């Protein structure tokens, strides 16, 4: 069984009312178009062709850089039939079957496509994916013959159209490649919208003696994104599913509806996610860690039994070993913290490697940026950094050393030493009182 995939994505997406291409909007941090590309990968598509338009061509190519996909440009959007024709003209499809997906329909399942393939294996040449709509919609409608086979798809605005006929066309099509390549040339635009309708292949197929049928799936699987509201509905569906899956795998959440995940978030069993936590892309958390409320985490790997937050910000490149504590208003970026190390309050830890069992005091700032370069700091094991310390990178603080509170550290600290880098305190006996009296006299004068 071999399949090539064409993903239609040339449409302007006008209803999004956004200067950005529709298919580059995201669900859980993943571009809409990437859902189709991943589905193609999941079914082991031999080649994947994305049909883009003039407006979104460049941005789509950038977004999909690194993916094994080919691109075709449809200069004017003359309809889905025209888009497929351009893809087939531009690229010689080598597979027995051609799968057509839409760039704005993210939830089609692998197993649904497999069902379609098995119908094709039984001799059907065109298999459309349909769903039973819960309410009236404006999708194309399946017209079935007396034997239940698919004989036509009626588009909105066409005379025969009946919006309450419940079998709606999702748009997804699996076709025998040579037959599709032949019939696509025969599609005409003699309809209300003067568009080349891909769905006209059904009529043409029956005229030329090629059998068509359909596979039915749940409506939820076929939802498309055409507006910002629909994007938010799709996002909600994704998040709800994701939360359910996490909880089923042993993650606790007191208010799951307030926690947001990325498509690639990995959280192991025994973790607790308190309300109002956001996970950006690239987060992996080992078992039994707690993420407290109002934390924002992206690109971070977190070990077992850690405590993060409340109000923690973990940025890309954060790597925490086991039993690490990151407390409130602490930002960590591109930093590795070994086990049992703590940064509990009001700190910035950037571009650093910190050993085990060290303590980063409240208000410690790793001064990593000198205006031009990002500089790196190494802190050893069992180090105690006192509160309100500035560590001016690049430098190394050796094992088991202590940095006195309020220090501005600009040089390496050898192991097992105490570094103090702050002006020496002077106590001037009696001067406090004299100053106070003077100040009070001034304020007395002002009051008079």
Catalytic residues: 345
DSSP state letters, 219-271: GGGG----SHHHHHHHHHHHHHHHHHHHHHTT-EESSGGG-B--TT-EE-TT-
Contacts of 180-188 with C-beta under 8 Å, sequence gap 24+, read 180/84, 180/88, 180/98, 180/126, 181/88, 181/93, 183/208, 183/210, 184/81, 184/84, 184/85, 184/88, 185/85, 187/81, 187/82, 187/85
Nearer Cβ to ligand UD1, position 83 or 180? 83
Residues at the site binding ligand UD1, with contacts judged by CB under 6 A: 8-11, 51, 74, 77-80, 82-83, 102-104, 139-140, 153, 155, 168-171, 197-199, 224
Q: Which is nearer to ligand UD1, 3 or 153 (CB)?
A: 153
Of 105 and 295, which has the nearer Cβ to ligand UD1? 105
Burial class (CB in 10 A: 0-12, 13-18, 19+), 61: middle
CB 170, min distance to ligand UD1, A: 6
Q: Minimal distance in Å, beta carbon 202 to ligand UD1? A: 10
CB of 50 to ligand UD1, least distance (A): 9
- What does DSSP assign to residue 317? T
Q: How far apart are CA 362 and CA 348, in angstroms?
A: 10
Taking the C-alpha atoms of residue 122 and residue 174, their distance in angstroms, rounded to an integer, is 13
Residue 187 vs 340, nearer CB to ligand UD1: 187
Backbone angles phi, psi at 168, to 5 degrees: -100, 150
Between 107 and 197, whose beta carbon lies closer to ligand UD1? 197
Smallest separation, CB 162 to ligand UD1 (Å): 13
Closest approach of ligand UD1 to the CB of residue 53, in Å: 7
- H or E element that contains 82: helix 80-90
Nearest-CB residue to ligand UD1?
Answer: 140
């Amino acid at each position: 069984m071999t399949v090539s995939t064409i993903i239609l994505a040339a449409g302007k997406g006008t209803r999004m009312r956004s200067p950005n291409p529709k298919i580059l909007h995201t669900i859980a941090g993943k571009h809409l178009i990437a859902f189709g590309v991943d589905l193609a990968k999941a079914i082991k598509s031999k080649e994947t062709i994305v049909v883009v338009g003039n407006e979104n061509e460049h941005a789509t190519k950038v977004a999909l850089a690194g993916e094994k996909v080919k691109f075709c440009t449809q200069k004017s959007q003359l309809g889905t039939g025209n888009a497929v024709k351009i893809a087939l003209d531009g690229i010689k499809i080598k597979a027995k079957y051609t799968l057509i997906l839409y760039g704005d329909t993210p939830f089609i399942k692998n197993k649904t496509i497999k069902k379609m393939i098995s119908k094709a294996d039984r001799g059907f040449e065109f298999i459309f994916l349909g769903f039973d709509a819960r309410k009236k919609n404006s999708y194309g409608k399946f017209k079935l013959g007396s034997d239940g086979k698919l004989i036509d798809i009626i588009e909105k605005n066409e005379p025969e159209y009946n919006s309450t006929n419940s079998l709606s066309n999702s748009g997804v099509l699996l076709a025998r490649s040579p037959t599709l390549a032949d019939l696509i040339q025969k599609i005409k635009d003699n309809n209300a919208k003067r568009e080349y309708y891909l769905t006209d292949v059904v009529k043409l197929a029956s005229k030329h003696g090629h059998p068509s049928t359909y596979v039915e799936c749940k409506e939820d699987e076929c939802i498309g994104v055409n507006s910002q509201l629909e994007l938010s509905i799709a996002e909600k569906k994704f998040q709800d599913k994701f939360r359910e899956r996490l909880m089923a795998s042993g993650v606790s959440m007191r208010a799951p509806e307030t926690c947001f995940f990325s498509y690639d978030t990995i959280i192991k069993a025994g973790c607790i996610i308190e309300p109002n936590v956001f996970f950006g892309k690239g987060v992996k958390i080992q078992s039994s860690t707690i993420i407290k409320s109002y934390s924002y985490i992206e690109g971070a790997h977190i070990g077992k039994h850690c405590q993060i937050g409340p109000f923690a910000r973990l940025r890309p490149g954060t790597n925490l070993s086991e039993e690490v504590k990151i407390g409130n208003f602490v930002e960590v970026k591109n930093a590795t913290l070994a086990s049992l190390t703590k940064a509990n309050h009001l700190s910035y830890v950037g571009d650093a490697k910190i050993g085990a069992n060290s303590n980063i005091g409240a208000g410690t700032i790793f001064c990593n940026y000198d205006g031009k370069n990002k500089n790196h700091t190494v802190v050893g094991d069992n180090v105690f950094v006192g509160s309100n310390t500035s560590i001016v990178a690049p430098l190394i603080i050796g094992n088991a050393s202590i940095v006195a509170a309020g220090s501005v550290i600009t040089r390496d600290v050898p192991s097992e030493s105490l570094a103090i880098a702050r002006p020496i305190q002077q106590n001037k006996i009696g001067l406090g009182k004299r100053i106070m009296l003077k100040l009070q006299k001034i304020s007395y004068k002002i009051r008079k």
